[in-house]
Each structure stands twice: as structure tokens, then as C-alpha cells.
Amino acid sequence: MTIASTLPELDTKLKQAHLLDTVGALLSWDEQVNLPPNSADLRAAQRAVIADVQHSAASDPHIGELLEFLEKERAQLTEDQRVVLYWARRDYNKATKLPADFVREKAEQSSRGYQAWKQAREKNDFASYAPVLQKNIELAKREAAYLGQGAAPYDYMIDCFDPGMKAAVIETLFDELKIGLVPLVRQITSSKIKAREEALRGFPVERQQTFLREVTQAIGFDYGRGRIDVSPHPFCSGSGADVRMTTRYHADNPLGSLFGSIHETGHGLYEQGLPIALHHTALGRAVGMGVHESQSRLWENQVARSRGFWKFFEPKYRATFPEQLGSISSEELYLAINAVAPTLIRTEADEVTYNLHIVLRFELEKKLFAGTLAVADLPKTWNAMSRELLGLEPANDSEGVLQDVHWSDGGFGYFPSYCIGNMMAAQLWYHVLGLRPQLEDDFARGDFTWLLGWLRKNIHALGRRYDTLALVKLATGEPLSPKYLLRYLKERYGPLYLS
């Protein structure tokens, strides 16, 4: 073995495992976008067999030999090669410590879980969903145990989505955030100024699609390497070579779909900015979901809810929907874009109260994993916390505990990333404003290239070289802090609601 021969061999192996991963992701995308209602069994079997062969590829003992050799030669490797090696080892350990049977069981459960969730939400039937949730928690704990993390399974789950992050760190950040956020939310929601969102009605879906495409293309999404479709729960999957985003349309909630789609476009832009040729190694992979969310949130909120953005797009929006917007003034439209109103549905929440939805889920996940909350008691506790935090109690579980897809396939520990992303987005925003104070003037001309260029260079191109906390420090010169998010919320919403 030589370094010169081992590195390309490892590369080939990693590429095969990655490609099988992308096939699994496509099956999952197709399941949510296209799958006929009675084809779920076949899809579960297909996903299981792909998980199986992916697991075989990722746990090929030859990878272990290559890694061992390279680890001995570590001193000879470049920095980048060490990054690849570090993550390849981590992934290999994960692949080899999880038995093939377990991986298959989890994949099957994930597919069935999604179908069960969909049905339960439709029928408002938490009881039918509870066993799925129970099993998903058990599977997560078993997985943590297989990887020697049985003592802290929730930390393990968080680390799956946001490597390096821990529940205790999140708790500290969230606590500081709450101190500032709770009074701010109280101030704003008791303001007499109210957005007239209900005035936005009857926006034909086809024209929404046209406008959406114009916006997402303008901010830089490359439709030559991606697409947007419709699914019950919006998401962004695929890799930069073929990004698959989804949204949902409601004629009477055009902004929900628009901003949801810009959010997914932010994810898509990150994926498209990662070096394509290196997608199969850590150098071409996203840091984690926290950073991913920082990108989606930055475009959705700091950018697309700004005055500058709407200076450019308002005339186009009015041209697309002349009747629908005829009786709405510019200021009313801008207020609707930045509407604040507590809602039961996280994905429809305004960005001021959004973080309270996350706190709710973070607290519940912690308790579920600590065993201090039983699955059967989840609806009751959800409803109580919802009343306490949001001031609203769900009338039924479909608008409560059944609203999110995440837990249906075992995605515990994912929710905190949204709030980490919000904090990071605001911190990036003030940093780039420091570098280019005229940024909103760019937007007002429909020019998003400077911002995208900066993100490409300082975030996207770096792949997984740094974890979330290190990347924030490197990109902004400061450790991650909630203070920028608080400042941003005050500066954007204060003048609208508190003046």
C-alpha cells in the first residue's frame, strides 16, 4: 500500500457508498412527491434493499484497511486529506457498528412511519401513530447504544444532524435567547398594529408557481441542476448535482408558499455551492443541519423579508396578481410579509415566535429520551406547553403533535438545528452588512450575486472542514451567540409594530 494508491481507492469506495445514498434519497423524495397511495409496501421494500446494499458498500472491510493505513500515514497527508479521513473513519465506524439487520429494520420502519404519520394526521388519530413513535425512540436508543453513546442518546441524535453539538450547549444558547425573546414576543403580539394577511386571497396556483420561479432564479438557484415539486411537507433533498425541493400551494396563503419555497431554495443554494466533484467526501458535504438552516433562514428572512428585496419584487408581484393586490398598499403588503401572529403550525409561524415552537419540541424530545415523558402523554403535554409558550392550544392533534413529519422517520434531535440556524443566519447577516453596507441596495436592483458569492466562498465552498461553532467563529470572527438574532428581530419588527 502507498498513499498514492490508497487515496484514489478510498475515493472510489466512498463514491459508491455516496451514490447509493443519493438513490435512497431519490426513493424517499419520490415517495413523498409521487408514490401512489397503495404502493407503500413496495417502496418500503425498495428502500430496505437500497439501505442494505448501501450499508454493505459503506461497511466494506477494505475501507477499514484503507483507513487504517492512511491513519498510520497521517503525518504525510494534507489538511484536506485529513478532513476526508476523519469523516470517512467516523462514517465507517457508524456503518460497521450498526448491524445490517438493524439498518434494514430502521429503513423499513422509516417508510412505514411516514405512511402512518400521513394517515394519522389526516384522521386526527394519535393513537394509531403512538406505537410508531415508541418504536422510533427505541430504535434511536438502540442505535446510540450500538455506537457507545447509550448513556446520552439524545446528544447522539443531535450530533447526527449537527456534528459536535450537544443538548447542554443548546440549552445555554436557548436560555439566553428566551430571556430576550419572551418580552419581545409579548410586546409585539400585544401591539395594536396587525398585519392584514387575510386580505391576501385567491392567488391562482399557476401564477404563484411562475412568480416563485422568477424569485428563486433571481436569487441564484440553478434549475439546470434542480427542481421544485409539491409534497405535503416541504423539504429539500438530493445533492447539488440534482436538488429536489418541494413546497405546497394554497390560493389563500400565497406568502406561506412563497417564503417556504425561498427557505428550501436557501438549502438548495448551499447544496449547489458545495463542490460537486467532492460530494462523496467531507470536503463536498454540508457541515450539518444547523448551518444548512442558517442558509435557508438567511434567504427566507434576512433577505426575502427585507425592504430592499421588495423594492425590486413588489412591482413584479403586483403585475402577476393585479386584482388580488389591487386594494393592498405597499406598506400593508410589507407588514403582511412580516406578519407576527402566534399560530399552532410551526411551518406557518412568523420568524419572531418561530423559535418558541422549537423550544417546545426541544423540551419534549429531551423528556422523551430521558424517560420523564411517556409517548401516550405526549398530546396532553404538547397542548399544555403550546398554551404556555404560544398562548394557543391545538383543537386537535393534527394541528398539534401530529403536525410535523420529522419524528415519523425517527428524526429526533433535528428541531434544535432550526433555531441554531436562525441564530447563525442573523450573525452572518450583521457580519456581511459590516462588509457591504449597501447590500439592500443590491437587492433593490435584483442583484443577489455579492451575497451569494460571499456565502459560496465563506460557507459553501468549505464543505465540512469546520463544525458549526468553528465555522461561525471563522466566518464572523465571533462565537455563535443569540444576540444577533435578538437584535435583528428588534430592528426589523420594532419599527413595524412598536413605533
Residue 218 as a binder of a copy of itself (CB under 8 A): the answer is: no
Nearest distance from residue 39's CB to a copy of itself, in Å?
Answer: 4
Residue 139 as a binder of a copy of itself (CB under 8 A): the answer is: no
Residue 223 as a binder of a copy of itself (CB under 8 A): the answer is: yes
Residue 50 as a binder of a copy of itself (CB under 8 A): the answer is: yes
Contact of 88 with 281, CB cutoff 8 Å? yes
Contact of 227 with 245, CB cutoff 8 Å? yes
* Residue count, binding to a copy of itself (CB under 8 A): 34
Nearest distance from residue 100's CB to a copy of itself, in Å?
Answer: 13
Residue 225 as a binder of a copy of itself (CB under 8 A): the answer is: yes
Closest CB to a copy of itself among residues 140, 274: 274
Residue 45 as a binder of a copy of itself (CB under 8 A): the answer is: yes
Nearest distance from residue 195's CB to a copy of itself, in Å?
Answer: 34
Q: How far apart are CA 71 and CA 61, in angstroms?
A: 15
Residue 173 as a binder of a copy of itself (CB under 8 A): the answer is: no
Report the site for a copy of itself in 242-261 (rule: CB under 8 A).
242
Residue 278 as a binder of a copy of itself (CB under 8 A): the answer is: no
Nearest distance from residue 54's CB to a copy of itself, in Å?
Answer: 9
User: Could you give the strand order of the β-sheet that contains 236-239, starting from the edge strand earlier in sequence?
Assistant: 226-230, 242-247, 236-239
Q: Catalytic: which of 31, 143, 264, 271?
A: 264
Binding mask 57-96 for a copy of itself (x = CB under 8 A): x---------------------------------------
Binding mask 103-132 for a copy of itself (x = CB under 8 A): ------------------------------
Q: How far apart are CA 218 and CA 447, in angstroms?
A: 8
Nearest distance from residue 34's CB to a copy of itself, in Å?
Answer: 6
> Would you list the DSSP string of 230-250?
E-SS--EEEETTEEEEEE---
Nearest distance from residue 299's CB to a copy of itself, in Å?
Answer: 20
Nearest alpha carbon to residue 403 among 124, 198, 139, 202: 124
Q: How far apart are CA 487 and CA 492, in angstroms?
A: 8
Closest CB to a copy of itself among residues 73, 229: 229
Select from 9, 11, 30, 447 the one that contacts a copy of itself (CB under 8 A): 30
Closest CB to a copy of itself among residues 18, 346: 18
Select from 2, 4, 37, 79 the one that contacts a copy of itself (CB under 8 A): 37
Contact of 68 with 85, CB cutoff 8 Å? no
Closest CB to a copy of itself among residues 245, 360: 245
SS3 226: strand
Select from 152, 241, 336, 444 the one that contacts a copy of itself (CB under 8 A): 241
Q: Identify whether 264 is a catalytic site residue.
A: yes
Q: How far apart are CA 51 and CA 410, in angstroms?
A: 15
Report the site for a copy of itself in 311-370 (rule: CB under 8 A).
none
Select from 65, 222, 332, 440 the one that contacts a copy of itself (CB under 8 A): 222
What nine digits make up the cell of 369?
429520551
What letters, b where the CB count within 10 A reaches 16 and e where it falls short, cover 48-84? Answer: bebbbebbebbbbeebeebbebbeebeeebeeebbbb
User: How large is the C-alpha radius of gyration of the chain?
Assistant: 23
Contact of 259 with 300, CB cutoff 8 Å? yes
Closest CB to a copy of itself among residues 55, 346: 55
Which residue has 465555522 as its cell numbers? 471
Q: How far apart are CA 443 and CA 306, in angstroms?
A: 9
Stretch that binds a copy of itself, among 27-35, 254-262, 385-393, 481-489 (CB under 8 A): 27-35
Residue 188 as a binder of a copy of itself (CB under 8 A): the answer is: no
Nearest distance from residue 27's CB to a copy of itself, in Å?
Answer: 7
What letters, b where the CB count within 10 A reaches 16 and e where it falls short, cover 213-243? Answer: eebbebbbbeeebbebeebebbbbbbbbebb
Q: How far apart are CA 389 and CA 182, in angstroms?
A: 9
Nearest distance from residue 258's CB to a copy of itself, in Å?
Answer: 22
Q: How far apart are CA 445 and CA 287, in angstroms?
A: 32
Contact of 203 with 324, CB cutoff 8 Å? yes
Residue 160 as a binder of a copy of itself (CB under 8 A): the answer is: no
Select from 22, 347, 381, 396 the one that contacts a copy of itself (CB under 8 A): 22
Contact of 383 with 400, CB cutoff 8 Å? yes
Q: How far apart are CA 401 and CA 12, in angstroms?
A: 43
Residue 38 as a binder of a copy of itself (CB under 8 A): the answer is: yes
For 403, residues 6+ apart whose C-beta sits below 8 A from its C-beta are 121, 344, 345, 346, 347
Stretch that binds a copy of itself, among 105-113, 223-231, 390-398, 470-478 (CB under 8 A): 223-231
Select from 10, 13, 14, 46 the one that contacts a copy of itself (CB under 8 A): 46
Residue 26 as a binder of a copy of itself (CB under 8 A): the answer is: yes
Looking at the annotation, which residues are catalytic? Answer: 264
- Which residues sit at the interface with a copy of itself, rule CB under 8 A? 15-16, 19-20, 22-23, 26-27, 30, 34-39, 41-43, 45-46, 49-50, 53, 57, 222-227, 229, 239, 241-242
